[in-house]
Amino acid sequence: MAEIGFYHLTRTTLEQALPKLLGRVLATGGRAVVLCGEEERLRALDSALWLSSDPDWLPHGTRETGHADLQPIWLTTEDEPAPNGARFLFLVDGAESARLGEYDRVLDLFDGTDEAAVAAARRRWVAAKAAGHALTYWQQGPGGWEKKG
């Protein structure tokens, strides 16, 4: 079973929060897959990662750029086995995966200002708990991410 962290965005946008979380994964030598709900979001995140200043280098790729096996971060809209050998899965924009158990850690990021996104995250929490995954809940606070009860 995977460890799944639900990340409630309340202070920044996904484009601002995701680079820092991905930077932490890369700092440990890890690899990540970012599963996007739609192609438009994938393109926006692709640009945001190239333009990120904190951290300032987030090497990544998409199906369009190819060479998945060489990419430490892989952006996709397809729920497929990790083409880059990633052990971390990031779910954004309500994306869902049938492959949660194939990862060591899953980070489900959702927009706390969008009631529908919060309701959908609650449904994903219930389903993940019923499947036996270990769950944590994180919310953005003044000093960064705060783990909540």
Q: What is the pLDDT of residue 28?
A: 96
Interatomic CA distance for residues 22 and 90, integer angstroms = 9
**Residue 52 identity:** S
Whether the pLDDT of residue 149 is over 80: the answer is: no
Distances in whole angstroms, Cα of residue 18 to Cα of each of 69, 95, 126, 133, 149: 21, 15, 24, 23, 23
- Tell me the two tokens of residue 16: 């601002």
Q: What is the pLDDT of residue 75?
A: 98
CB 106 within 8 A of CB 94: no
Q: What is the pLDDT of residue 84?
A: 97
Give tens-digit pLDDT for 17-49.
999 999 999 999 999 999 999 999 999 999 999
CB 82 within 8 A of CB 102: yes
Q: What is the mean pLDDT of residues 107-125?
A: 97
Residue 90 CB partners (closer than 8 Å, separation 6+): 18, 21, 22, 32, 33, 34, 35, 106, 107, 109
In this structure, the chain runs to a length of 149
Nearest one of 15, 67, 13, 8 to 42, comparing CA atoms: 15
- The mean pLDDT value of the chain amounts to 96
